[in-house]
Chain A
Amino acid sequence: MNAAPELGLSVVGLTKTYPKTFRRPAVEAVKGIDLEVRRGEVVGLLGPNGAGKTTAIKAVCGLLRPNAGRIFIGRHDLAKHPRRALASMAVVLEGDRNLRFRLNVKENITFFTRLAGCDGGRVRRETPAALERFGLAEKAKDQARNLSKGQKQKLSVCIAYLTKAALVLLDEPTLGLDVQASHELQAIIGEMAAEGRAVLLTTHEMAVAQRVSDRIAIVNEGRLVTCQPTAELLELFRHRQYTIRIRTADGARPEAAGAAADGDFRLVGREDGVATYELNTTDKDRLYEVMDLFRDDSCEVLEVARHQPDLEKVFLSIVGGQGGPPA
């Protein structure tokens, strides 16, 4: 089997169980994940802690041996041609693990691009422009340990950028960065995709994922729950959240509220005879059903507001036990 050439990454049936040890039983971390990242797109891989994201990423990097499944980096099968596969991939791991702190910025670039097997001449030629682009030109001779967290992260991404790899894996690249540094990195991530690279991004920052990802993949309990274009995923949840404000003649709790209470409908505030309810539903007709109940109860509906869902709410809905997006 060969992956399609436009694919930067193709993962088929990835399964990983950590073997039993003296201290703990066997742990089934990843249970048959299928995932594709096309060249020119950013896929955000989300999931709660312990969902299997890091295990999946480490398997894609070749740092973990999966029990089953196949991983293609570009056209190269990681298990059969690890050298070619690894030469087509750049990785920025989470935290302070991507740099040699006693080396300066330029030395780090030289060291890690050589490890990646890059053409030294090309890297030397392109380094000044890249340092300028990443705002590190003035820090070129500073040791990595003296850089700020944002600058360290930019340097790590700059190295990945200079490798020209077809696939870029970014594990929590904006974690702990200030707003400006985070936005600059997000812009760079977008540029890398625009250059035709496939970018797989893991993050806990939903706003970042929502802004930069073309598609969102959500992993929970070792399984891929959903993988859809970001806009479509948000749209699926758009009709589901409403805030309804009503007034009753005497300010008492309307009977309709009791009748409508079905786990998806709750009172969130009451003031001066005005009650505010929140409706979370998977059923499009449910809103009209609730409205009918209020009308029957002679309540005055003051406002019905449809919420603009954000990825955080979508994520919480998906991993919070509902299993997946609505059909």
Chain B
Amino acid sequence: MRYLLKILRAHFTVEFIMLFRYPLDLASMYVVITLVLAGIFLGINAFVPAGQLMGATKAAIFIGYFFWTFWLLTVQSAAWEITMAANQGYLEREFLTPAGHSGTVVAKILSNSVSGLGHYLIIATVCILLFRVKLALDVPSILLVFLCCYAFLVGVGLAFAGLALVFKRIGSVISIFQMVLMVLSFAALGKFGPAAEEVMRWFPYTHAIRLLRAVLVDGRTFAYVLEPANVGPLVAGAAFFFLAGLVVFTRLDRVAMDRGLIGQF
């Protein structure tokens, strides 16, 4: 744990340094996210007739978009970071730490996604205020749901990082998964019937979106989130996917170590 904290600090420090080393890139990122969010909110204002649950629609879409972006920040960047580090040659060197290979990848995912999330939250807050999206901010509910979804995403990120170690170029595989998650983020899954809804309850990503919409849009409380039917699948699914991701990474890391693939691009 001591070593994990040290490499977490190392990777967070690098993220912070890089953030301000390239101010133009940072400014451009802010512009892009602002434009995308403005596009979503203005688009809804333009195309959805007045009086048709405008606020709820905007908020619901915002949550879907937020999660989808969060997926990109977490999972895609994990695989991308591994690929880039292998490509530029410093992956082997970064893996030479007492925290182990999985510790290194977790530190990379956390530093990357937390930094990205920070920017995103700043811009999202400004947009929410500008476009008057009404959200019920129940902090404990948001934190619990968010952390569970994050654990799921880190698990998936670990699995993709393992694939990147062995197969090197996995951009297209991630794109396929990205499309699936896009549908899960924005589609009204309830319309596919109770069976589909029950299945999706055990998938932390969709379940988290559903719960967060219930909290932020419908004003449900922490007590609702803590209902066994809600919190049970959320926590169990998050733990399962995190551990499964860790196992997949460990196995693929072992394959890479057997075949001498670490750092080779």
A residues with CB within 8 A of B = 18-19, 21, 55, 58, 61-65, 82-84, 86-87, 89, 91, 93, 95-103, 107, 110-112, 114-117, 120
Please tell me if the beta carbons of B93 and A112 are within 8 angstroms of each other in the complex: yes
B89 touching A96, Cβ below 8 Å: yes
A64-B6 contact, Cβ under 8 Å, with A98-B90, A99-B90: no
**Contact residues in A for B257 (Cβ distance below 8 Å):** 63-65
CB-contacts of B1-40 with A (<8 A): 2-3, 6-7, 9-10, 13-14, 17-18, 21
- Chain A residue at minimal CB-CB distance from B17: A107
Does B227 sit at the interface, judged by CB under 8 A?
no
Q: Give the CA-CA distance A113 to B73 in the complex, in Å.
A: 27
Say yes or no: is B99 at the interface (Cβ < 8 Å to chain A): yes
Query: In the assembled complex, which residues on chain B have CB atoms less than 8 Å from the CB atom of A62?
Result: 96
Residues of A within 8 A of B104 (CB): 115
Q: A55-B260, A115-B97 known; A93 and B2 CB under 8 Å? A: no
- Contact indicator A97/B90 (Cβ below 8 Å): yes
Find B259's partner among A18, A86, A97, A100 (CB 8 Å cutoff).
A18
> Is B3's CB under 8 angstroms from A19's CB?
no
- A112 CB contacts on chain B under 8 angstroms: 93
Separation of A249 and B217 alpha carbons in the complex (Å): 113
Output the least CB separation between A118 and chain B (Å). 8
12 cross-chain CB contacts under 8 A: A63-B257, A63-B263, A65-B258, A93-B93, A95-B89, A97-B93, A98-B90, A100-B90, A103-B14, A112-B93, A114-B7, A116-B98
Residues of chain B lying within 8 A (CB to CB) of residue A18: 258-260
CA of A116 to CA of B2 in the docked complex: distance in angstroms? 11
Q: Please measure, in the bound complex, the distance between the C-alpha atom of A91 and the C-alpha atom of B97, giving whole angstroms.
A: 10
* Chain A residue nearest in CB terms to B88: A101
Residues of B within 8 A of A86 (CB): 96-98
**Is B92 located at the chain interface by the 8 A CB criterion?**
yes
How distant is A30 from chain B, measured CB to nearest CB, in Å? 11
Judge whether A110 and B98 touch: CB under 8 Å.
Answer: no
Is B17 a contact of A115 with CB atoms below 8 Å? Answer: no
Q: Which of A64, A83, A114 contacts B10 (CB 8 A)?
A: A114
- Interfacial chain B residues near A84, Cβ < 8 Å: 98
- Count chain B residues whose beta carbon lies closer than 8 angstroms to a beta carbon of A: 31
Interface residue from B6, B89, B263 paired with A115 (Cβ < 8 Å): B6
Q: Are A83 and B90 in contact (CB under 8 A)?
A: no
Identify 12 new A-B residue pairs, CB closer than 8 A, beyond the known A18-B260, A110-B10: A18-B258, A19-B259, A55-B260, A58-B260, A63-B262, A83-B100, A95-B89, A97-B263, A114-B9, A116-B96, A116-B98, A117-B2
Pick the 7 closest A-B CB pairs, nearest first: A114-B10, A97-B89, A83-B98, A65-B257, A87-B98, A115-B97, A86-B98
Q: A93 near B92 (CB under 8 angstroms)?
A: yes
Q: Which of A65, A84, A107 has most B Cβ within 10 Å? A: A65
- Which of A64, A87, A98 is close to B260, meaning CB atoms less than 8 Å apart? A64
- B10 to chain A: which residues have CB within 8 Å? 110-111, 114-115
Nearest to B258 among chain A residues (CB) is A65
User: Do B90 and A116 have beta carbons less than 8 Å apart?
Assistant: no
B95 within 8 A of A: yes
CB distance from B123 to the nearest CB of A (A): 24
CA distance A65 to B2 in the complex (A): 25
Question: Which B residues from 224 to 265 make CB contacts under 8 A with A?
Answer: 254, 257-260, 262-263
**From B104, which residue of chain A is reached at the shortest CB distance?**
A115
A102 to B17, CA, bound (A): 10
Using A98-B90, A102-B21, A114-B7 as known contacts, say yes or no to A63 and B98 having CB atoms under 8 A apart: no
Report whether B96 and A91 are in contact in the complex, using a CB–CB cutoff of 8 Å: yes
B94 at the A interface (CB under 8 A): yes
Whether the Cβ atoms of A82 and B262 lie closer than 8 Å is no
Q: How far is the CA of A118 from the CA of B114 in the complex (A)?
A: 25
For B17, list chain A residues within 8 Å (CB).
103, 107
Bound-state CA distance A284–B7 (Å) is 59
Shortest CB distance B88–A (Å): 8
Q: What's the minimum C-beta distance from B111 to chain A, rounded to whole angstroms?
A: 12
Cβ B258 vs Cβ A98 within 8 A: no
- Chain B residues near A61: list those with CB within 8 A: 92, 96
Q: How far is the CA of A111 from the CA of B94 in the complex (A)?
A: 10
CA gap between A257 and B41 in the complex, in Å: 97
A63 adjacent to B14 (CB under 8 Å): no
Nearest Cβ in chain A — how far from B252, in angstroms?
A: 13
**B6, B94, B95, B104 interface centre (most CB from chain A within 10 Å):** B6
